[in-house]
Structure 1
């Protein structure tokens, strides 16, 4: 098990004496030292009148005398306000800069999370004259380049200085929010895209970004930002990762970044997660400078303060009925149902929509969908047009949807980390919320052991009336029949796309149907078995 392995990892010395964020109190904006009045006004327009404890703690370590002397590692529960915790001080710090260039980079593991973080920056950065860019692959790379890079415009009939004719494209944003893959695309191919002026690097959802290589984005970024090729060869293009492999980094004047006498300030880093890794080998990749840990309480894993957790014991064959019964008791409250895979998400969402007479709208949200479809679904969920969202773990990290009162684990999470990130979609920002987990009897003991790592409180059993489950059986039988037809139709379409004969073939559609569908046997209850 992942969790048990991590417990055996030695704790780094700097992680043994963290700053306890829980000792801080909410701080009204009027009492926040050094806050730019323009930012205060922008925050108030957002409905923010005070900072949460983690935000106040980070502000203390970043703004004013001694600010950003050390890199910050923030381990705080989901929904505690980590995004604004780093967005606000970075925007404050950059507000005095007059030259337009890329100074801050925020890297996140998914497009949806990057879009959400970009909205937070976009709400405050323009108030102090800063611009925010997005590089996530949602649009074509040409459209992104047009937003991120400013190209010199030369008009006919005007006599230019010879130096103007050699002007190269330059960055047009101060802050960039990006996913690793698209970031590497711009590093490797976009003329004028440079990290040479980067002052701040934020790695959000750090444990996930360190667990997956993502085209070696991290060593590439660190090498480009500490390299002095831009000083020795100011007109040279940025090196690609292949070139970086053979050209070793040259330290500026042989002096490590961050110390007096150095021509440029060091790259300041902030890493964040609700389940921050303690693995020294992983943290070493970040090349942290005298890191300072900010965490909430003595426990490594911590659930939202006002979250209530329950388990509902059910049988495998009737598991969908227990879910429907639970959803009916919620009476249309905004709810997210988590499954263990994108395939399970699709099957379960399809089955629920085949039930008749349910008084709430249900939609699927998973990595199988196009970005445009996910964005549309998420917008409808936020606006209340959809009451129940069936999701894979694509939505477990960082996603913030206001008004989610309940999370349901249809499939038991495999790790404590997964439970924390799922449950953290509710009870955010000091609000109340509930998390239900559907379990088979054989899973109860393992689940309680998993939960003990995050919460000492017992997890009570929430029982559904047996008669309400029995009353759903006829609807369930009908839904299963419709599900069979739906899956057969989807299977046929999917295989026809990949196996459709060429124009010259005389194979009939009936033969294609027989080859593709007839031999297969559908497991009607596969949605409950994952």
Structure 2
């Protein structure tokens, strides 16, 4: 037995993960048959053309509504495009609607603005119909604009004396549900008067494995601490040592009651953690301080691709890789595609090359993480509306983003890890629709790619062959575009050298 297999066998597995709820045992269920569903929610779902719930949504509903509702924290490991967002949104909204009081009771945290905007749209579709208000804290607008929506300030009557202390006490959250990114959430925790987590009932950590891998300003321990103390002010002033153990967290959380809810702690903070590639590392999962967790997953495989996904490979030489991509896009005849590259630089360079090809039978644009938010949003909207056929992107769009009608995913650069591949491939074949995932490979990459597919639970892949006459037809255009790109490189390098000289940097090692 080789060392890698020995290591895999010796990796610890948490006891509660050994006997999961198998999502494959559940079937799609008509809304008319969903037990205890609020008629207002049913009407809201039908308004957005949803007539039934997917298996993961049925499974979560059965564990959260009725007897034993939300008694356990939920860890959901379900393939991309299976409907995880509505799976947690629906039962949370139904439960929150039973209390007629406005204060921040549900917090959904996501790693990117684009994903947070998408999730808010899901809540906007169902929450207002049962009288709940949804807020957004992602840094898309100024802090002041967000505060004006999130915080309710008391009205001052003319002639009444002004008491600053009483005024400060009456400032409070004016939303029931908040969708946030970690950075802006921490801004409000630190500086926004009236922003309180003391009544928090639900915490959703979407794309959990990414959060547990990166620091994100230590938002998670901060939220857990604040949600488990009597007063935000006391906790914040106490600093990082306010809660040091899991036992203290459980001691601070008291059971709330319906009457006088604002002066009491909420019931136990329920946590829902989700990902298509949920980690099984005990040291990472321990950060979530889970209460008697229940693990829901699709089958016994750690990773699973959508069943309606077709996997294809395209072998080529390094020097003809861009030509193969363009020929592939021609052969797909305007179908909506996402082309993944390994970086922002690769995305921009490939986009520039495509522009030098001249008129194409498809419209394309680029997308990467460091673009201005308004630009990214505009590009995504155009892609959704069909004004753009091909989106060339870094992995900024790989996780969670849902764009209806994406027929193909093309890995121009092979995914570096199996998790990355799963998230990329998951942009197509969503919600039961079919889709294809192409990977353009050099010969020396094929073996590693096959190993990656096996980890993803996919043994077979189809070899895709491009028509020879199409390659011959496009080659002169490719040679011309490549020459123009090299000219642009020379020009750009010259401008950079000139700028460096003017600023006193001189030539770089690369220039030499």
Tell me the C-alpha RMSD between the 2 structures: 2.7
The range that moved more, 152-161 or 397-406, is 152-161
Matching of residue 358 in structure 1 with residue 388 in structure 2? no
Per-residue CA shift, 1:256-276, capped at 9, x if unaligned? 748799964110000000000
Pick aligned residue for 2:483 from 481, 484, 501: 481
SS in structure 1 opposite 2:288?
coil
SS in structure 2 opposite 1:278?
coil
Cα drift, residue 97 of structure 1: 1.6
Q: Is the 8 A contact 1:28 1:51 kept in 2?
A: yes
Pick aligned residue for 2:88 from 83, 86, 89: 86
Q: What residue number does 2:267 align with? A: 265
Q: Is the 8 A contact 1:491 1:517 kept in 2?
A: no
Q: What residue number does 2:261 align with? A: none
The range that moved more, 336-345 or 166-175, is 166-175
Per-residue CA shift, 1:472-492, capped at 9, x if unaligned? 221112212322344455556
Change (3 A) 1:497 1:141: farther
The range that moved more, 139-148 or 370-379, is 139-148
SS in structure 1 opposite 2:371?
coil
Q: TM-score, normalised by structure 1?
A: 0.89
Pick aligned residue for 2:385 from 374, 383, 386: 383
Q: Is the 8 A contact 2:235 2:242 kept in 1?
A: no
Rounded to whole Å, the distance in 1 between the matches of 2:489 and 2:508 is 10
Q: What residue number does 1:321 align with? A: 323
Q: How does 1:162-201 map to 2 (within 5 A)?
A: 165=167, 167-201=169-203
Per-residue CA shift, 1:286-341, capped at 9, x if unaligned? 00000000011111110001000010000000100000010000000000000111
Cα drift, residue 245 of structure 1: 1.9
Matching of residue 244 in structure 1 with residue 239 in structure 2? yes
Per-residue CA shift, 1:373-416, capped at 9, x if unaligned? 00000000000000000011111100000000000000111111
Pick aligned residue for 1:469 from 468, 471, 493: 471
Rounded to whole Å, the distance in 2 between the matches of 1:412 and 1:269 is 35
Change (3 A) 1:259 1:190: closer
Rounded to whole Å, the distance in 1 between the matches of 2:27 and 2:473 is 50
Q: What residue number does 1:71 align with? A: 73
Q: What residue number does 1:528 align with? A: none
Q: Is the 8 A contact 1:492 1:516 kept in 2?
A: no
Q: What residue number does 1:284 align with? A: 286
Q: Is the 8 A contact 1:9 1:278 kept in 2?
A: no
Q: Is the 8 A contact 1:187 1:238 kept in 2?
A: no
Q: Is the 8 A contact 1:201 1:268 kept in 2?
A: yes
Q: What residue number does 2:25 align with? A: 23
Per-residue CA shift, 1:56-91, capped at 9, x if unaligned? 000000111101111000000000000000010110
Q: What residue number does 1:11 align with? A: 13
Matching of residue 137 in structure 1 with residue 139 in structure 2? yes
SS in structure 1 opposite 2:463?
coil
Q: How does 1:213-232 map to 2 (within 5 A)?
A: 213-229=215-231
Matching of residue 103 in structure 1 with residue 105 in structure 2? yes
Q: What residue number does 2:444 align with? A: 442
Rounded to whole Å, the distance in 2 between the matches of 1:182 and 1:34 is 36
Q: Give structure 1 stretches of 5+ with no counterpart.
A: 231-235, 502-506, 522-530
SS in structure 2 opposite 1:317?
helix
Q: What residue number does 2:314 align with? A: 312
Change (3 A) 1:292 1:402: same
Q: Is the 8 A contact 2:198 2:265 kept in 1?
A: no
The range that moved more, 340-349 or 371-380, is 340-349
Q: Is the 8 A contact 2:453 2:459 kept in 1?
A: no
Cα drift, residue 229 of structure 1: 4.1
Q: What residue number does 1:527 align with? A: none
Pick aligned residue for 1:60 from 62, 77, 88: 62
Per-residue CA shift, 1:175-194, capped at 9, x if unaligned? 00111111111111111111
Rounded to whole Å, the distance in 1 between the matches of 2:24 and 2:59 is 9
SS in structure 1 opposite 2:313?
strand
Per-residue CA shift, 1:200-248, capped at 9, x if unaligned? 0000000001100101111111111112346xxxxx46516xx422434
Q: TM-score, normalised by structure 2?
A: 0.92
Rounded to whole Å, the distance in 1 between the matches of 2:190 and 2:214 is 20
Matching of residue 209 in structure 1 with residue 206 in structure 2? no
Cα drift, residue 357 of structure 1: 3.0
Change (3 A) 1:132 1:450: same
Rounded to whole Å, the distance in 2 between the matches of 1:365 and 1:270 is 30
Rounded to whole Å, the distance in 1 between the matches of 2:484 and 2:157 is 65
Change (3 A) 1:63 1:184: same
